[in-house]
Structure 1
Amino acid sequence: MRLRQKLVLLTTLSKGLMAGVLLLALPWAIEVFALRHTEARLRSELVKVRRRIERVGVTSFLRGQENDQRLHYDLLEDEFIELRRGRPGHRQPDTIATLPRRQQGALVDFRVLRASFEHDGRPYTLEIGKSMESVEDVYGLLRSFAAYALVFAVLSTLLIELGVITYLLRPVDQIVQRLRAVQGPTPPPLPPLQTSTWDFRYLDDTIQQMLQKIRRVFEQEREFIANASHELLTPISILQNRFENMLQAENLPEEAETQLVTSQKTLQRLTATLRTLLLISRIENAQFARPDRVDLRALLGEVVEELDYRLLDQHIRLHQQLEGAPTLAPANRTLLFTLFYNLLSNAIKYNRPADGRISLTGAPQPDGTYVLVIHNTAVRPIPAAQLPQLFERFRRFDDGRVEGFGLGLAVVRSVAQFHLIGIAAASDEHGTAFTLRLPPARPDAAE
């Protein structure tokens, strides 16, 4: 799972957990808030009633009432005030409780504040109540408002955090894109990563240092191979001339002649290997120009014509189906000929001894690239564990019955990287396939 997905999942889970806790706690909290608000209002009403009694007196407040008791409901009968005489010597502290009261012939729960006081030396009991139905209406309103506010807060903060995560992790995508753009072990110097996050700058600097170290090591390796190959060609050439001179001797024994011929073959193979290593080194050092605009259909026709005698000798059928007009520009026609020659030569070399098949198919892609597939009916599939090392130098995965040093596919990879061609290999019981993804031809390239 990617880092961004993990952060998004963590954020979503944390918001969900927070929303769950709040949804469980909000009803209780709102109920307590509503009751506290009702009780504060009842105490305020109590203060107002006490002030009125002190101003007009109890007699005026109870005038017209029987038994020195007054009970008054408001218009909606959701609040009441009751004042009655108390018993002497029974002064009680103020209390608030939910008590039933008769309303229109039915018992209804009220939140009742009961207070005892004395006026002109006489005890009185004052009750102020508010219907719990009205409290629950306020409670429901607050609960709905809180639920909507919670959903809005969770969604808005989640969207904001997702945007912030995307913004903060943008340098990671830039680093990945820069690494994917690296072609080969000698990438050009990259500009510094534009970010205000120290960790990403440190990561980018570390990657830059690592790429430079790889570049230096690879350059040293290429220089060594080029120098060694070049220096070895001279003594090999001298040895070949000496062997040729010795073979011209008239009194040379037959056994010595056989040994000299065998030695000459060995030197020829060594010369071919050294020249191949020099070719790889020159390609990787960008010592070749790309002045051509190559028609791949015509180039592949030349390669097939060059290998036609081998196809006939091994009774291998070649099927070719190329859609569109595949073109590669800028390019080096000679190097591309070597690339396709090596791939088709391997397709013949490692094909079935008789009645083998090679298919050469290609089609343009919506992104402007062109995909070319070379498939052959191999004797046996290449193990999956060996496919990643298939293009490395001196890697061979056959049983040794086929001659070679494992440099053909190394040349293929170098030429492909030189032309920005993506290449991949796959193998199964049906055969081995090499897939090449050719970049779009530049319209400003030479004809």
Structure 2
Amino acid sequence: MKLQQKLVLLTTLSKGLMAAILLLALPWVVQTLVMRHTDSALRTELRQVQARIAQVGIGEFLPQGPAMRRTHYDLLQDEFIDLQATTSQPFRDTIGTFPRRQHGAAVDFRVLRHSGYYQGQLYTFEIGKSIASVEDVYDLLRTSAGYALAFTVLTTLLIELGVIGHLLQPVDHIVERLRAVRGPQAPDFPPLRTTTSDFQYLDASIQQMLLKIQRVFEQERQFIANASHELLTPISILQNRFENMLRAENLPEEAEAQLVTSQKTLQRMTATLRTLLLISRVENNQFPRNETVDVREVLTDAVEELEDRIGHKQISLQWNLTGQPMLAPASRTLIFTLIINLLSNAIKYNRAGGEIEISGQPEAGEAYVLNIRNTGKPIAADNLPHLFERFRRFDPEAAEGEGLGLAVVRSIAQLHFVQITVTSEKGPGTTFSLRLPPLVLLPTP
């Protein structure tokens, strides 16, 4: 899972957990706030009543006649004020929920009780609000709070997703730069545009690492090129001497056999050194790529050159090419070398009477996938990642070769931006797949 996906998942889970906790706590919080607001409103009304009594006297609030109690309900009977003369002891203000009659039925009211002396007489005040009316406010607040919570969570989540995507854009740029590195020679990248110091440090570290790798490969290629070139001269001298010695008429038969064996050894060394020089020249980009190569034509020429070996092992060749595979800019010489190496391996590691299938089809984006499959012994899965390494051989029964053929294939493929993959399993056999990049039209001379 990508870092961005993990951060998005973490943000979503944290927001979901926060929303769940708030939703569970929301009823209690809203109810507490509503009750506190109601209690505060009751106290405010009490102060207003007290101020009115101080202004006009308590008689305005009592009924005419000997009665010393008066209860007044509003029009909807959702609120009431009760004033009653009493002979009991005064008490501290209290607020609670008590049943009262409303439209002939018992209904809960939130009631503020207060006692005080007016004109030498102790009175008890009760100011109440219907719990039903309070619950209407409670439901309204709870619904509004729920919508506000959902809106806030979704808005912050979307904002955070956008911010996370923006902050992690340098990671995508770094990955794209690493994917663009197809060989020791890394492209010249400008400094990464970001204000995040961690990404700046990572980009600088990767640039330094690529430069170190480039220097190491440069030294290796230079050594291989120099060593191969220097060794070819004494080997050529030795070959000439062996040839001159073999022309001697009085050469013993045993010495002649030893000279022939030594000459074959020198020939193998020459072939190896020439292959190493080829790899070095390819990696140093010393071959011009200024041609448009017809891959079907190159395949036909390679098959014709290998007809004797194909017939010797009685291998059947199947063609299943669709479309017209083309590659440009390219070097036809190098593409021929790549194809003939793959076909040679398909013959060498195939069974007698086996099959080689050459297939291909165009892909979306004007790319083309070319497959070369043989029905030989499958390659172990552990060996597939090391298949293109130099001097790596995984079939001890194959006497010929030094393990450089596929190294040449990889170098040529990288030079031409061709993606190469290998699959191998019992039954279908081993398949080398080449994904040719879209054709780039060359300027006409």
Q: Same fold (TM over 0.5)?
A: yes
Matches of 2:444 and 2:406, distance apart in 1: 28
Matches of 2:22 and 2:398, distance apart in 1: 75
Change (3 A) 1:152 1:18: same
The CA deviation at 1:64 is 2.4
Matches of 1:176 and 1:164, distance apart in 2: 19
Matches of 1:166 and 1:24, distance apart in 2: 31
Q: Which residues in structure 2 correspond to 1:241-260 (within 5 Å)?
A: 241-260=240-259
Matches of 2:340 and 2:149, distance apart in 1: 68
Cross-structure match for 1:442: 440
1:166 aligns with 2:160: no
Cross-structure match for 2:315: 316
Matches of 1:249 and 1:13, distance apart in 2: 89
Matches of 1:66 and 1:74, distance apart in 2: 24
Cross-structure match for 2:414: 417
Matches of 1:65 and 1:384, distance apart in 2: 109
What is the DSSP-based 3-state SS (H/G/I as helix, E as strand, rest coil) of the residue aligned with 1:242? Answer: helix
1:5 aligns with 2:2: no
Matches of 1:183 and 1:66, distance apart in 2: 107
What is the DSSP-based 3-state SS (H/G/I as helix, E as strand, rest coil) of the residue aligned with 2:366? Answer: coil
Matches of 1:413 and 1:445, distance apart in 2: 27
Letter in 1 for 2:432: F
1:375 aligns with 2:373: yes
Segments of 5+ residues of structure 1 without an aligned counterpart are: none
The CA deviation at 1:77 is 0.2
Change (3 A) 1:252 1:230: same
Letter in 2 for 1:420: F
Cross-structure match for 1:61: 61
Change (3 A) 1:416 1:60: closer
Letter in 1 for 2:438: P
Cross-structure match for 2:78: 78
Cross-structure match for 1:406: 403
- Contact kept, 8 Å, 1:424 with 1:436, in 2: the verdict is yes
Letter in 1 for 2:384: L
The CA deviation at 1:445 is 4.8
Matches of 2:66 and 2:382, distance apart in 1: 105
4+ residue runs over 4 A deviation: none
Cross-structure match for 1:365: 363
Letter in 2 for 1:39: D
Letter in 2 for 1:321: N
- Contact kept, 8 Å, 1:416 with 1:423, in 2: the verdict is yes
The CA deviation at 1:446 is 5.5
Change (3 A) 1:446 1:320: farther
Change (3 A) 1:445 1:270: farther
The CA deviation at 1:402 is 3.0
Change (3 A) 1:65 1:381: farther
Q: Which residues in structure 2 correspond to 1:110-259 (within 5 Å)?
A: 110-259=109-258
Matches of 2:123 and 2:324, distance apart in 1: 108
Matches of 2:136 and 2:398, distance apart in 1: 92
Q: Deviations over 1:120-166 (max 9, x none)?
A: 11111111111110001100100000000000000110111011110
What is the DSSP-based 3-state SS (H/G/I as helix, E as strand, rest coil) of the residue aligned with 2:124? Answer: strand
The CA deviation at 1:47 is 1.1
Matches of 2:107 and 2:45, distance apart in 1: 21
Letter in 1 for 2:168: L
Q: Deviations over 1:171-201 (max 9, x none)?
A: 0011001101111122122111111110001
The CA deviation at 1:93 is 1.0
- Contact kept, 8 Å, 1:349 with 1:402, in 2: the verdict is no
Matches of 2:116 and 2:21, distance apart in 1: 45
- Contact kept, 8 Å, 2:97 with 2:108, in 1: the verdict is yes
- Contact kept, 8 Å, 1:91 with 1:123, in 2: the verdict is yes
Letter in 2 for 1:41: A
Segments of 5+ residues of structure 2 without an aligned counterpart are: none
- Contact kept, 8 Å, 1:293 with 1:446, in 2: the verdict is no
Matches of 1:293 and 1:397, distance apart in 2: 35
- What's the TM-score, normalizing by structure 1? 0.97
- What's the TM-score, normalizing by structure 2? 0.98
Cross-structure match for 1:23: 23
What is the DSSP-based 3-state SS (H/G/I as helix, E as strand, rest coil) of the residue aligned with 2:158? Answer: helix
What is the DSSP-based 3-state SS (H/G/I as helix, E as strand, rest coil) of the residue aligned with 2:364? Answer: coil
Matches of 1:43 and 1:281, distance apart in 2: 94
The CA deviation at 1:233 is 0.4
Change (3 A) 1:445 1:389: farther
From 390, 395, 417, the equivalent of 2:392 is 395
- Contact kept, 8 Å, 1:382 with 1:432, in 2: the verdict is yes
Matches of 2:21 and 2:381, distance apart in 1: 51
Matches of 1:79 and 1:64, distance apart in 2: 23
Matches of 1:283 and 1:60, distance apart in 2: 111
Matches of 1:43 and 1:300, distance apart in 2: 98
- Contact kept, 8 Å, 1:330 with 1:446, in 2: the verdict is no
Which moves more between the two structures, 408-417 or 58-67? 58-67
- Contact kept, 8 Å, 1:288 with 1:332, in 2: the verdict is yes
Cross-structure match for 1:291: 290
Matches of 2:292 and 2:60, distance apart in 1: 113
Change (3 A) 1:317 1:278: same
Matches of 2:251 and 2:183, distance apart in 1: 52
- Contact kept, 8 Å, 1:329 with 1:445, in 2: the verdict is no
What is the DSSP-based 3-state SS (H/G/I as helix, E as strand, rest coil) of the residue aligned with 2:333? Answer: helix
Matches of 2:24 and 2:344, distance apart in 1: 73
Cross-structure match for 1:42: 42
The CA deviation at 1:63 is 3.3
Q: Deviations over 1:184-235 (max 9, x none)?
A: 1221221111111100010000000000000000000000000000000010
Matches of 2:85 and 2:349, distance apart in 1: 116
Matches of 1:374 and 1:345, distance apart in 2: 11
What is the DSSP-based 3-state SS (H/G/I as helix, E as strand, rest coil) of the residue aligned with 2:188? Answer: coil
Cross-structure match for 2:426: 429
Number of residue pairs the alignment of both structures matches = 444
What is the DSSP-based 3-state SS (H/G/I as helix, E as strand, rest coil) of the residue aligned with 2:111? Answer: strand
The CA deviation at 1:5 is 1.4
What is the DSSP-based 3-state SS (H/G/I as helix, E as strand, rest coil) of the residue aligned with 1:82? Answer: strand
Q: CA RMSD in A?
A: 1.1
Letter in 2 for 1:32: T
